[in-house]
Structures are given as C-alpha cells and as structure tokens.
Amino acid sequence: MSSDLPAPASFLRAAEDELLELSIETSRADWVHATYINDDTQSLAAKANARLIATTVRLAKQSMTLRTESLGPEDQRKAKLLRLSLSLVAPSDPKEGEELTRIVAEMQGAYAKGRHVPRGTSEPVDLQALSRILSESRDPVALEDAWTGWHQVGRSMRAPFVRYVELANRGARELGFADTGAMWRSKYDLEPEAFAAEVERLWQQVRPLYQSLHAYARMRLRVTYGPDRIPEKGPIPAQFLGNMWAQSWEGTYPLLAPPESDPGVDLTKILVSRGTSPTELVRYGERFFTSLGLDPLPPSFWERSMLVRPRDREVICHASAWDLDFVDDLRIKMCIEITEEDFHTVHHELGHNFYQRAYSRQPFFFRESAHDGFHEAVGDTASLSVTPEYLARIGLLDTVPDASRDIGLLLHRALEKVAFLPFGLVVDRWRWDVFAGRIAPADYNRTWWEMRQQYQGIRPPAPRGEAEFDPGAKYHVPANVPYMRYFLAHILQFQFHRALARTIGHTGPLHRASIYGSKEAGARLRTMLEMGAHQEWPDALEAVTGERRMDAQGLLDYFAPLQRWLDQQLRDAPKGW
C-alpha cells in the first residue's frame, strides 16, 4: 500500500483487504452450513458471521470519524457503502453480537427442518411437497391442511424474533440509524422516507392492473370452489391461490385459463419427455448468457454447485447463487426438479452469477449490484426472454405458436409477476414497522394479516391468533434477508426488457421479444453489470435504459393486451376487497 496515501484512503484500502478475507471465510462457512445442516456447521457459520459482522461494524464506526472531505468521490462512496454494507448489525457487546447471529442461524435451521404430516398420510414431508399440494390439489380440505401445517413452522421463532429485533436495532442505532428498517432503506441512494415514498409511487402505478387480476381470479375460483369458500366481494382465502404465501398464483392457471386462448407451451412436459437432467437444465441457462457475448461459467461451477437434494443430510433447498471468493468461485444451490418453474429459476440464479463475475474487477466495496433490486432483476430479465421463439431457437419447440392467442401466456405470466407485487411490498413494509416500534410483539400476527389484506386482498384460511408467527413461514424473515429487492426487481426487469427490446429493434408485442443471441443487447447489459456499485443506481439504470428513474410503464406495456382482456371479462364483476 502506498505510504503517501492520506490516512482516510489508507484506512479504506486496509478495510477492503480485511473484509474481503473475512467475507470469503464466512461464505465458505455459510455454504457448508446450507448444504450440510447440523449443530457443528450451524455453530461454525454463526461464529464466522459474528466475526464478519463485528469487524464490519468496527470498521463502519471507525469510518464515521474519517474526514471525508479529504477523499475523492470514489473513496467517499466507499465510506458510505461500508456503513451500509450489512443488513444485520450486531451490537458492540461481543456477547450480544454472538447471541444475535446465533438466533438468526437457529431460526434458519428451524425453517429448513420444518415438516408436516399431510392429512390422510403417515409420513412428514417438507416445504417442497406441501407446496406441490397447494399448486396441484383441488381438494379444499387438503389445501387448508397443507397451508396450516407449514405455517406452524413459525411458532418456535416468535420469541427469538422479538429478541432479534431488539438486538438488530441496537446495532443499527450504534451506526447512527434510527432502526434496522431505516438502515435497509438507506441503501438506495435516497433518504429512508423518500425511498418509502418512491416504493409507494411504483405500487400505485401497478395497483389497477393487480386489482383487475385479483377480481378475475376471485370470479373464476368462485366457479370452482363455490360461493361458500370464495366470496363475490372481499379478500380471497390464501390457500386457494396455488402458493404457500399467495405470492404467485401460477398454480391456479388451469382454473383461470381463458377457454378461447392457447393454453401455452407445457415446458415441463417437454423437458421431462426429453429426459432432461438437472445439469442440462442449468446448461440451458448458461447458453442463454453466453449467447449475449458473456463468458461461460468456470469449470469449478460444475464441480462445486449443489443441483439436487442430497439423500444423506439436511440442506437448505431455497435456490440461491454464490460467489465464494468474490472473483470466480461461482456456484448455485438448488434442489432442482425438472419443471418449467425451475427452468426459469435457473435463468434467474445464473443472472446473479454472471453479474457477480462482471463486477469482480471492481474494488471490493463495489463488488455488488447498483442496488439489490438490480441483482434480482438481471436474471428475471433473462427469464422474460424465455418466449416461444426462444424455445424454438434452442430446440425445445418445433413450431412457434401464433401470437394472436397469447392471452393465456400473458395471464400465466401475470399470475407469477403481477400477483407477486403486493406481497413483495408487504414483507418489508411489515418489518419496517416492526423495527420502528410501530408494531408491538403482541400484535405481530394481527398486523401481518391486516397488511396482507390491505395490499394483497387475501386472508388466512381461518382466524390466526398471536400464538402463531406467520411471517416466520417465509424464508426471508427468519433469515434476515431484506425483501424490497424483489418488488423493485419486478419493476426493473420489465423496464430493462423494454429497453433491450428496443435495442434489438423489436417491433411486435413486448411479451414476444427475446434478446437471446443479441451481442448488442449483451454489450449494453455488460456495461451495467461491470459497473457494480461503483456509481449510484440511476447511472447504472441509464446505461441499460437511457432513463434515470425507476418506472413501471414497461410492466404495464408488457401486460397491456391482458389488461384490455381483463377489462372485458370484468364488466359486471366487483373489484377490490
């Protein structure tokens, strides 16, 4: 390190070196814990995370004393990102810091070990099996049993979660934030309240489309399940929407599909009939990104990733992408099933990996996306290019269906993308209020369901008391993973897609555009990926879209044909709840 650097710059260089080393150590411990869950790996991961958090907090607090006016713009941004680099800040007391990381590890472990014996069976099954019941069964009793059975997983987390909130807030305040929620919102190059207002603005843009989709789903589900179970007006019971959290509704598509439309491509059937292996499923995703001019994944990816559920141990199956050395030790962790859903998930997770490698040449503090919504949006932008034309080009379809009957395709995608939007908002809106003390522990479950009814228009199968902790039934809550990134990604992916479709000169319906094989689209994307967090997110957004403000118009343009069709179907049907 050069001796003539001013002290603040020297501090930042040393901090980057120290944090890189600890981050690699923690990533390896977390990987082992996630792929081999037992008390030992849980303890090792908790201790590694405690060291990383303690060191980051120490350095972040020291950075607050720097005379940043002596720093150049790049180092000033590094100092800011250092202070904002954690989603969980442990208090300075070592015992409390260790307690906080242990609580999070234990809640994650409880989630991973969650099981339920479905009604009429004798063997306990995991979340994946229970989720299949919700998406495939049409038996109202079985649906309610599977939903209620999984949501029991939150009960044991309730007391630890209260303590987690207390300790996390204590750490955030030591860094100068009002609470952990305010710290999370500060990561978006805006003041916390300004960011909350920006999120609400985006929601109001898409709310009318969601209300139309909700009204149509309620009307059609009422035909299947009857007026005793599905109301003509009011919220929809959550167990009937095909997903454990009612966050996406694709499982209801067979019940909602318009009879006059093409049912769409049964990609699951095609993949299974071809004997597609989990590895080959991932190869499809890799070939999408290499077609844009990006380099193939390194050989170590194929040697070290976990693509299937092991038979001999507990693992966390929740799909995730990893970069263990922050250069090119890229991996994904999935329990792949040969389905259309996992085909899309693979494209999404590899989007993280290709983003991680693209910014790996940046200084350590900038080896991150412009904001976390960008990271999630990149892979989903790739998924939007999984069109019939794309499937034909890669040999999975012999002929391309005519676009004139695409309402079924659009409805299916809306049940995934549009249905998600209010849930993507609620998970963090609820936590923001919890962290801020606006929601007391005694009201956790009541306020969770009030907020879900307000935004999503859903309700639980039966009244849920405060002995339950239903937020804990969603992985990101016990795992301390901020969720707003997913809401923002669902806006940004369509903004990216519309801009890249223009780049390739696409003139047809936006939902039929695919950037597969376009080096020009790949070059624009690469420019943004390589920036990492070096510049504020409006600069990264502009690199791809030419725009500097997040905007939901791309999503509305994509689903415009569906919105017109829904308006026709709902002429005499009530909207809202």
Distance (Å, rounded) from C-alpha 69 to C-alpha 190? 20
Distances in Å between the Cα of 261 and the Cα atoms of 233, 402, 412 are: 27, 11, 11
Residue 348 designated active-site: yes
Active-site residue, selected from the candidate residues 110, 129, 178, 319: 319
Active site residue 506: no
Residue keyed to tokens 């590094």: 78
Q: How far is CA 190 from CA 198, 371, 552, in A?
A: 9, 11, 19
Q: At a CB cut-off of 8 Å and minimum separation 6, what does 326 contact?
A: 20, 23, 24, 356, 360, 364, 367
- Where in 449-508 does DSSP place strands (E)? 458-459
**Annotated catalytic, 144?**
no
Q: Are 269 and 340 in contact (CB under 8 A)?
A: no
376 is catalytic: yes
Q: How far apart are CA 470 and CA 476, in angstroms?
A: 12
Tokens read off for 258: 């318009």
Active-site position among 33, 344, 347, 352: 352
Catalytic, out of 250, 349, 368, 468: 349
Strands 458-459 and 330-333: unpaired
CA distance 289 to 5: 40
d(CA 110, CA 569): 44
Q: Which one of the listed residues 74, 476, 536, 542 is annotated catalytic?
A: 476
Contacts of 541 (CB under 8 A, 6+ apart): 370, 492, 495, 528, 547, 548, 549, 550
Q: How many CB atoms neighbour CB 312 within 10 A?
A: 6
Which residue out of 151, 344, 347, 348 is catalytically annotated? 348
Residues sharing a CB contact under 8 Å with residue 456, sequence separation 6 or more, in sequence order: 214, 235, 246, 422, 423, 426
Please calculate the CA angle 86-203-186 and round it to the nearest 5 degrees. 25
- CB 105, CB 213: distance < 8 Å: no
Residue from 74, 129, 198, 318 carrying the catalytic annotation: 318
Neighbours of 58 (CB within 10 A): 13
Q: Which of 486, 511, 516, 534 is catalytic?
A: 486
Per DSSP, the residues of 308-359 read: S--SSS----S-EEEETTSSS-EEEE----SSHHHHHHHHHHHHHHHHHHHT
User: Is 349 among the residues known to form the active site?
Assistant: yes
Residues 6+ away with beta carbon under 8 Å from 113: 37, 314
Is 188 a residue of the active site? Answer: no
Q: Enumerate the active-site residues.
A: 318-319, 348-349, 352, 376, 476, 486
